[in-house]
Amino acid sequence: MNKRDLIKIAAIAAVLVLAVLLVSRIESAQGREETEMVREAVKNAAITCYAVEGAYPEDLEYLKENYRLSYNEDQYFVTYEAFAPNVIPDIWVTERGQK
């Protein structure tokens, strides 16, 4: 192999590495966006409940049963911590399998 062939191989390898990194960043950004959408859905359901009933629900199951909240439970883990009926709950969403 001559010097020119090595330069071509290095350039192709660099392009492949950059392509893999770009795809990884796009997937990561998409995952964050979807996670935020689930969090917003839970928050909106809680706010709707407060508007209708005058209190935030004590747990996530109430929102699922009474306000048709749904999300992919195999993909997302939702933590819903209600402090008081007149204080918006803390809501955290993480993608399952994420470190």
- Residues 46-82 have pLDDT tens digits of 999 999 999 999 999 999 999 999 999 999 999 999 9
Q: How many domains does the chain have?
A: 1
- Look up the domain containing 53 and give its range: 3-95
Question: How high is the pLDDT of residue 77?
Answer: 94
- Which conformational region is residue 54 in: left (phi greater than 0), alpha (psi within -120 to 50 degrees), or beta? left
Please say if the pLDDT value at position 94 is more than 70.
yes
Q: What is the mean pLDDT of residues 13-33?
A: 72
Six-digit token string for 47: 């706010």
- The whole-angstrom separation of Cα 92 and Cα 99 is 15
Per-chain mean pLDDT for the chain: 86
Q: pTM (2 decimals)?
A: 0.72
42 near 93, Cβ under 8 Å?
Answer: yes
- What are the phi and psi torsion angles at 78 (to 5°)? -115, 130
